[in-house]
């Protein structure tokens, strides 16, 4: 089971108006500060829709969002940091001795009682050896080598609006791994609270493409080859 926790702890004030004002600067003699004051909510919404439909996403980089993330496995954090247009600060196993070891158990393992028992036994044995190493004077930075990737971790993540659109287009795909899908579903929910138009655009890429560009579809949209056959 995963108990992913996500909280939006900081963000660009009035993020959607900031995006709209930044976009309008390129075609207006007015200053950005003036545009921030003059743009009506309706004008902001219309402009964001045009930016999205035209694929002109660079203005979305002017809105930044910082999240506190807890309760994910190191399996998922390793996937997460592959998205390099972002900033991460993660709890260090080098400096934080893990006297207690919380970890994630996938549902597919829990569904098989015999395997689940062996799984828990293996994880606990690894943690017990880790504690023995610490007691023997081995530094935490070396003892941690024995810890499994199932271990829970926490981090702070900052992404701009454009990168959020990109990452969610990949990680909200139903064929992505279950834990990272859950993570970005909660990221999306947090963004929707302060930037509903942007939040609505955090979705799998197939919704924009109108087809699945993977080798195999989850079923929401057909793959590109099937689209061609239908035509």
Number of compact structural domains in the chain: 2
> Residues 129, 66: one domain?
no
Final residue before a domain boundary, out of 146, 168, 186? 146
In a domain, 36, yes or no: yes
In a domain, 197, yes or no: yes
> Residues 33, 80: one domain?
yes
Determine the average pLDDT of the residues in 62-78.
97
Domain span holding position 34: 5-89+154-205
Mean pLDDT, the chain, whole residue set:
94
> Residues 132, 174: one domain?
no
> How do residues 10-61 score in pLDDT, each as one tens digit?
999 999 999 999 999 888 877 888 888 899 999 999 999 999 999 999 999 9
Determine the average pLDDT of the residues in 53-81.
97
Strand partners of residue 152: 73
In a domain, 126, yes or no: yes
In a domain, 212, yes or no: no
> Residues 99, 126: one domain?
yes
> Residues 191, 172: one domain?
yes
Quote the pLDDT of residue 50: 95
In a domain, 226, yes or no: no
Determine the average pLDDT of the residues in 90-114.
96
Residue 228 has pLDDT above 80, yes or no: no
Q: Find the CATH number of the domain harbouring 12.
A: 3.30.1360.170
Quote the pLDDT of residue 195: 98
> Residues 9, 84: one domain?
yes
Please provide residue 160's backbone torsions phi and psi, each rounded to the nearest 5 degrees: -85, 170
Burial of 82 (0-12, 13-18, 19+ CB in 10 A): exposed
> Residues 85, 102: one domain?
no
CA quadruple 129, 133, 139, 145: dihedral sign = negative
C-alpha count within 13 angstroms, C-beta hemisphere, residue 155: 20
Q: Residue 143 in contact with residue 133, Cβ under 8 Å?
A: yes
> Residues 117, 15: one domain?
no
> Residues 197, 135: one domain?
no
Beta-carbon contacts of residue 174 (< 8 Å; ≥ 6 apart):
181, 204, 218, 219, 220
103 DSSP 8-state letter: B
| Alpha helical stretches, state H, 39-139 | 41-54, 74-80, 107-110, 113-135
Final residue before a domain boundary, out of 146, 162, 188? 146
> Residues 84, 111: one domain?
no
Residues recognised as catalytic? 171
> How do residues 152-203 score in pLDDT, each as one tens digit?
999 999 999 999 999 999 999 999 999 999 999 999 999 999 999 999 999 9
Residue 231 has pLDDT above 60, yes or no: no
111 DSSP 8-state letter: T
> Residues 99, 83: one domain?
no
In a domain, 82, yes or no: yes
2 DSSP 8-state letter: -
In a domain, 214, yes or no: no
Q: Which residue bears the tokens 């609270």?
A: 193
The model's confidence at residue 224, banded by pLDDT at 50, 70 and 90, is confident
In a domain, 122, yes or no: yes
Closest CA to 101 of 139, 78, 134, 68: 134
Quote the pLDDT of residue 26: 83
> Residues 129, 169: one domain?
no
Taking residue 156's Cβ as centre, other Cβ atoms within 10 Å add up to 15
Determine the average pLDDT of the residues in 91-114.
96
């Amino acid at each position: 089971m995963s108990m992913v926790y996500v909280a939006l702890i900081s963000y660009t004030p009035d993020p959607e108006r900031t995006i709209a004002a930044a976009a309008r600067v390129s075609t207006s003699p007015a200053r950005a500060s003036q545009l921030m004051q003059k743009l009506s909510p309706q004008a902001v919404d219309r402009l964001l829709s045009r930016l999205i439909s035209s694929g002109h996403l660079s203005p979305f980089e002017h809105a930044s969002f910082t999240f506190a993330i807890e309760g994910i496995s190191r399996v998922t954090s390793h996937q997460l940091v592959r998205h390099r247009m972002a900033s991460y600060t993660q709890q260090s196993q080098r400096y934080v001795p893990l006297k207690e070891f919380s970890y994630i158990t996938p549902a597919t393992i829990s569904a098989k009682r015999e395997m689940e028992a062996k799984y828990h036994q293996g994880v606990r044995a690894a943690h017990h050896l880790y504690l023995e190493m610490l007691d023997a004077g081995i530094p935490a930075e070396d003892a941690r080598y024995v810890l499994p990737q199932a271990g829970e971790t926490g981090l702070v993540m900052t992404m701009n609006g454009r990168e959020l659109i990109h990452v969610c287009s990949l990680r909200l795909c139903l064929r992505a791994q279950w834990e990272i899908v859950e993570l970005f579903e909660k990221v999306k929910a947090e963004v929707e609270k302060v930037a509903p138009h942007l939040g609505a655009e955090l979705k799998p890429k197939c919704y924009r493409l109108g087809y699945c560009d993977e080798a195999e579809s989850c079923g929401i949209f057909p793959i590109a080859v099937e689209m061609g056959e239908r035509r």
